[in-house]
Amino acid sequence: MNKPFLHRQINSKAGKPPQESAGKVFARLLGYVTRYVGQILLVILLLLVGTALNLLIPYFLGEGLNNLSSSLNLKLLLHTVILMTIAAIGSWAALFLQGLIIAKVLQRALYNLRRDLFEHIQSLSINFFDRQPIGELMSSVTNDAEVIATFFRGNLNMLLSESINLIFIVIAMFWLNWRLAITAMLISPLFMALLGFISRVSGPIFDNLQQNIGELNGLMEETVSGEKVVIAYGQQLEAVYNFQQISFAAMEAGIKARFIALLSRPVTLVLTNLDVALVALVGGLLVLNNQADVGIVATFLQYTRQFAIPITSVANSLDSLLASISSAERVFAILDEKPAIVDKPNAFPMPPIQGHVVFKDVDFSYVQGRPILKQNSFEALPGQKIGLCGPTGAGKSTIINLITRYYDIDKGDIIIDGHSIYDVQQDSLRRQIGIVLQEPFLFSDTVMNNLRYARLDATDEECITAAKQANAHEFILRLPNSYNTVLTERGGNLSQGQRQLLTIARMMVANPRMVILDEATSNVDTRTEERIQQALNRLMQGRTSFVIAHRLSTIRDADRILVIKAGEIIETGTHEELMAQHEFYYDLYMSQFKGKVAAIA
């Protein structure tokens, strides 16, 4: 029986860049090159010299032919050959040098583009990452940047030199014989119309192709990082099917886009030959009418071929040009993204936090018009442990996200030690708040470097002391290379509890003034939980801490518990006070307690 497939809903709108005109995008891309004005001017100068010398070769040839046709003078012939050789060597040297300089400029331009993109992504606020599929984002930094790189390396220099070549040829042609010049150029509107038509038709298909590649990378990233779930549910075939779907769409778009772009090659070839034939015909007639000599016509036949070269080159690199424009559009769409959370112009660094936190009538929504928190107010005194509990989706993590200013609120204020967090520099605030997330995240690096990530100037001894305080030292010593053991991605070669202990140790290295713990003890056995709890208690000592707990036992000793339901704080007090109230918290606690008793029984 055929296995039914769960069709993946592709979020094709995500990451879709706003449509800017191709010309504007190209000009912006060029801006990365033109900022090296000095080098570019030198490159243009060298190109002018190289091209002029190159164009002198057919001219010398024509002159030589004219001289030869009047008298066979060996001296003159030698003179012509020497001039042609000097022009050829000079042209080669100038073009070689410009090639060296432009290669350097293009590499710098690329480096700047990639750096800008990565730096900009680092500057964006969390809400951007909520909207943007991570895989597609990664595709922009890698694939789109590579498409642009290929164009920069392969085609941009060519376009520059060919444009200069074109200008020179046109000047030279008009200088030599305006009738033949006009004849040679008669065909150019046809060339232009053809290139215009091809870019109009295949441009959107290239956009589609780059979009498909982005989706493909997104799917790849998501599937591989969720491979354990894919295997657990036996959905490998499904994953392959989804991959094939997008891959097939990318292939079809690729074939279509490249086919149309490549069509330009044979057509430009035919047009060039037609042009040469036309010049030969008109040239022959002019010679017969004594309006031109044979040498000039020979020179023109060469020029006509050279005249078509820049246009043919543009046509040949059209696919690369169009692909790079649609990649650049995606990259610029990210670069144009404004960080949602911005420091006020007069924001000041947050002084060392003592831990007095006040929520004052806070309203908040992730999406406009869909309120999540309503009129939330509470106070935490320095050194207090505040527990947050409530049903799933109630808004516990949201409150925590607001303390660190991951998102801005709609109404009200959040005040720490008398300073509104909207008046201080966000970095200086976050640096003082440590967070232990439910899902610990570690980097593919050594244990020591993972610990030092929290504070780059921490010494090895400080990291080891933190690991000891976090009850992580013993298991680290048992790792194959102890503190120098390289963790696999996200710490995949450690157990859940060990990862949790490492993230606690990492936070101890940071030595934050305030602590946030998001269900840090779930999914581990009782003994590990005890070790984690002990480490967390050390971490919380003397620091204001916020603890999100599903198992209420972890916050029984809290100085104050906030019970959250549907975005509102419905009860607050100590465990004893809340139990005495016999309301929501009481029910919640009793249901968990009964559950535990039943499990033991």
Ligand X SMILES: Nc1ncnc2c1ncn2[C@@H]1O[C@H](COP(=O)(O)OP(=O)(O)OP(=O)(O)O)[C@@H](O)[C@H]1O
Q: In this complex, which beta carbon is closest to ligand X, that of residue 31 or of residue 595?
A: 595
Candidates 212-220, 319-327, 394-402, 428-436; binding stretch for ligand X (CB under 6 A):
394-402
Residues near 512 by beta carbon (within 8 Å), at least 6 away in sequence: 431, 432, 433, 434, 543
CB 403 within 8 A of CB 516: yes
Of positions 66, 188, 397, 534, contacts ligand X by CB under 6 A = 397
Q: 58 or 567: whose CB is closer to ligand X? A: 567
Nearer to ligand X, 144 or 519 (CB): 519
Nearer to ligand X, 372 or 540 (CB): 372
Burial class (CB in 10 A: 0-12, 13-18, 19+), 21: exposed
Q: Which listed range, 99-107, 218-226, 376-384, 388-396, lies at the site for ligand X (CB under 6 A)?
A: 388-396
C-beta of 366: minimal distance to ligand X in Å?
3
Sole binder of ligand X in the list 395, 434, 497, 512 (CB under 6 A): 395
User: Could you say which of 258, 305, 385, 396 contacts ligand X (CB under 6 A)?
Assistant: 396
Q: Which is nearer to ligand X, 37 or 367 (by Cβ)?
A: 367
Window contacting ligand X (CB under 6 A); options: 5-13, 78-86, 392-400, 520-528 = 392-400
For residue 393, which amino acid is it?
G
Calpha distance 520→492 (Å, rounded): 18
Stretch that binds ligand X, among 295-303, 386-394, 461-469, 551-559 (CB under 6 A): 386-394
Task: Identify the DSSP state of 433.
Answer: E
Report the C-alpha gap between 2 and 326 in whole angstroms.
39
d(C-alpha 482, C-alpha 391), whole Å: 41
User: Is residue 271 a contact partner of residue 187, using CB atoms and an 8 Å limit?
Assistant: yes
- Amino acid (one-letter) located at 431: R
Show the tokens assigned to 41.
């001017």
Identify the CA nearest to 523 among candidates 556, 498, 557, 540: 498
As measured in angstroms, the least distance from the Cβ of 116 to ligand X is: 26
Q: Which stretch binds ligand X (CB under 6 A): 28-36, 252-260, 276-284, 387-395?
A: 387-395
User: Between residue 2 and residue 21, which ones bind ligand X under the rule CB under 6 A?
Assistant: none
SS3 340: coil
**542 is a contact residue toward ligand X (CB under 6 A):** no
One residue of 392, 461, 478, 601 binding ligand X per CB under 6 A: 392
Question: Is residue 405 a contact point for ligand X (CB under 6 A)?
Answer: no
Please provide the DSSP assignment of 259-277 as one string: HHHHHHHHHHHHHHHHHHH
Handedness of CA 574, 421, 434, 544 (dihedral sign): negative
Q: Given the complex with ligand X, which of 316 and 401 has the nearer CB atom?
A: 401
Rounded least distance, CB 548 to ligand X, Å: 6
- Closest distance of CB 132 from ligand X, Å: 12
Restricting to residues 114-153, name those near ligand X by CB under 6 A: 130
Stretch that binds ligand X, among 203-211, 226-234, 393-401, 456-464 (CB under 6 A): 393-401
Chosen residue from 154, 393, 492, 595 binding ligand X by CB under 6 A? 393
Name which of 213 and 402 has its Cβ closer to ligand X: 402
C-beta of 396 vs 405, nearer to ligand X: 396
* Structure token digits, residue 26: 């190209």
Least Cβ distance, residue 568 to ligand X (angstroms): 12
> Which member of 372, 535, 547, 555 binds ligand X (CB under 6 A)?
372
DSSP letter for 470, please.
T
Pairing of strands 433-436, 385-389: unpaired
**CA distances to 32, 107, 118, 163, 359 from 35, in Å:** 6, 13, 20, 19, 48
CB 333, min distance to ligand X, A: 21
> Using the rule CB under 6 A, which residue among 155, 223, 384, 398 binds ligand X?
398
- In contact, 531 and 460? CB cutoff 8 Å: no
Q: What is the phi-psi region of residue 495: left when phi exceeds 0, alpha when psi lies from -120 to 50, beta otherwise?
A: beta
Q: Least CB distance from residue 438 to ligand X, whole Å?
A: 8
d(CA 74, CA 108): 51
Report d(CA 83, CA 77) in Å as an integer.
10
Exposure string over 181-219, b if 16+ CB within 10 A, otherwise e = bebbbebbeebeebbeebbeebbebbbbbbbbbbbbbbb
Which residue of 394, 416, 536, 561 would you call a contact of ligand X, by CB under 6 A? 394
Nearer of residues 12 and 438 to ligand X, judged by Cβ: 438
Give the residue from 387, 370, 365 showing the smallest Cα distance to 378: 387
Whether residue 389 contacts residue 563, with contact meaning beta carbons closer than 8 Å, is answered with yes
Q: Minimum distance from CB of 345 to ligand X (Å)?
A: 28
Q: Is 366 in the site for ligand X (CB under 6 A)?
A: yes
CB of 189 to ligand X, least distance (A): 54
Cβ 373 to ligand X shortest distance, Å: 8
Total binding residues for ligand X by CB under 6 A?
12
Task: Give the residue ranges of DSSP H helices in 186-235.
Answer: 188-225, 227-232
User: Closer to ligand X at the Cβ: 216 or 400?
Assistant: 400
- Between residues 379 and 568, which has the closer beta carbon with respect to ligand X? 568
Closer CB to ligand X, residue 168 or residue 364?
364
Residues that bind ligand X (CB under 6 A): 130, 366-367, 372, 390, 392-398
